[in-house]
Structure 1
Amino acid sequence: MSGLRFVALGDSLTEGVGDPVGDGWRGWAALLAAGLAEDDVDFVNLAVSGAQTRDVLERQLPQGLALRPDVVSVVVGVNDTLRCTFDIHAVAARLDRVYAAFSAQGAVLLTACLPDPGAMLGLPGALARPLARRQRAVNTVVHALSERYGAVHLHASEGAWLTDRAMWSADRLHPGERGHRQLAVRFHALLASRGLADGVAPSVEPEFPVPTKSASLWWLATAGTGWVVRRCGDLLPQLLSLAVDEMRHRARGTSAWLDLRAAHAVSAALASVSAEAA
């Protein structure tokens, strides 16, 4: 494949947070770009830290469409789960519009389901379960829409890499260099199996030394904690309320009802976008 253009949309994961190079971030998408073709690949990263599905639809999509990419990645959704405004119906509708727009242009679409942020942060069960439920809902929507639009979909929400601390940065929410390389290698394998990548696969071995423990703790204290506060500060009051509700249902033995309610919301959201497409 020659003259290939790869455009990446999304949030801090795709921006490359956790994989510092020079004064900026590199990340899995940049690593993947280098292996998509034997010739140079025109790579444009539109991802912005903190982006939600609304930001991707309203800001990044118009820029991405104007670039007319051959390959486009849309990996987003975790920030939606960390907001008090979380609405799986809105998430599904936005992702459907983004996927449909790039598919209509003939671009190869890359998507991924993502880990549960509560589990990655090691939150207590009553706080973690509501976030896990939200992330499962987003992942279910991404699975279904990826299948609808024939996307190259990476199951990044599972596997041994989630519990391997060497894969993750100090904040436990973003991959480190090894983790970003893992994502790039897995995406490359999926694309190569479909004849959509003929460049050299990214290396799994890190290029730079692993940050020292003191450097990681310093980053977490000076930047990482602020990142978490900015992303989910407005969620905290609601999350505490959800935790109380979680404990109440657990005490009554009705926790399954919360899962059923979430599953029904996902089904309704997907039915809604299907009806609109029809």
Structure 2
Amino acid sequence: MNKGEKNKRRAFIRTLGLGTLGALAAPYAFSLPAKPVKRDGAPKIILFQGDSITDGGRSYNKDWNHIMGQSFPYLISSRLWFDHIDQQLMFYNRGISGNTVKNLLDRWQPDALDLKPDILSILVGVNDVFAVIKNNNPTTVEEFKLNYEQLIIKTTTALPDVKLVICEPFILPVGQVKENPDRWQQEITPRQAIVKALAKQYNAVFVPLQHVFTDATQKAPADYWIWDGVHPMPAGHELIARQWIKVVKKELGFPR
């Protein structure tokens, strides 16, 4: 084969290769949906409020890389956004690390009521227990109840159609809790009872979490689910997310 014939052969092979790549890429380049999903009307707003368990290291700006944090609100929102594209959902995370019920009450107008959520999920209470144990500006059980009830009343007065989802605070005997488990249990038990009673009184959805974590220790040790007795591990956040979706679906028919 002379030099001219070799060049022609190489050119033919290059052309053939490019054509094959083009044919393979074509379905991906042009496979747009014939009828995109319609997204008419105002979105349904779901707001997560609480402390560090909700916060999950979220950003406090509009950076969508981090805006939902790395905790159970992220898991819930990503799953429901993916599975229910047609339902025009909008999720917000306004949890702040270290918050007690009183802290939520102080910032409730801008961080909750002004967002006008359709569904408002609250998980708070363990920092109220921590404050008592560490004697760091503690509040009594009675004050906890008063502040939590004010939170609910403010919400239902300003947003009469809102659906409240009240999550039970929880602990496991590991980390800092293991140092004094009886004291932690003594302080969290009445607050868990208050949260459950308020949910019933104000017709809110109650998401039980303590028994979910306790039962999970039959499958793996406590520190597999919660690393310090208070803050969930990744599997613990998945546990909350699954329980939240299960209960809210049953009680509210959401998502439909």
Query: Common fold, TM-score beyond 0.5?
Result: yes
Given the alignment, which residue of 118, 125, 129 partners 1:77? Answer: 125
Query: Matches of residues 47-196 of structure 1 in structure 2 within 5 Å?
Result: 47-83=95-131, 84=135, 85-104=138-157, 105=159, 106-116=161-171, 119-121=173-175, 123=177, 127-159=180-212, 160-162=215-217, 164-165=220-221, 167-168=224-225, 170-196=227-253
Higher relative contact order (CA 8 A, sep 6+): 1
Deviations 1:174-201 (A, max 9, x none): 11222212211111111212343126xx
Distance 1:168 1:67 in 2: 32
Query: Which residue in 2 is equivalent to 1:15?
Result: 55
d(CA) in 1 for partners of 2:205 and 2:120?
A: 10
* Structure 1 contact 31–184 (Cα < 8 Å) conserved: yes
Contact residue 177 and residue 229 of structure 2 kept, 8 A: no
Local SS of the residue matching 2:230: coil
SS of residue paired to 1:120:
coil
C-alpha distance in 2 between matches for 1:162 and 1:59: 36
Distance 1:22 1:66 in 2: 24
CA shift in 2, pair 1:65/1:77, >3 Å: same
Q: Distance in 1 between matches of 2:65 and 2:233?
A: 15
Aligned equivalent of 2:70: 26
Q: How many residues align?
A: 195
**Cα displacement (A) at 1:124:** 5.6
Q: Name the residue aligned to 2:22.
A: none
Q: Report the identity percentage.
A: 19
Provide TM-score, normalisation by structure 1.
0.62
Q: Aligned Cα RMSD in Å?
A: 2.8
**Runs of 5+ consecutive residues of structure 2 not aligned to the other structure:** 1-40, 59-63
Contact 1:111 1:146 in 2 (8 A): yes
Structure 1 counterpart SS, 2:112:
helix
Question: CA separation of 1:17/1:136 partners in 2, compared to 1, >3 Å: closer, same or farther?
Answer: farther
TM value normalised by structure 2: 0.67
Q: Distance in 2 between matches of 1:162 and 1:41?
A: 34
**Aligned CA distance change for structure 1 residues 140 and 170 (closer, same or farther; 3 Å):** closer
Partner SS for 2:239: helix
Task: Give the CA deviation at 1:140.
Answer: 0.8
In structure 1, the gaps of 5 or more residues are 200-278
**The residue matched to 1:5 in structure 2 has which SS?**
strand
Displacement of 1:64: 0.5
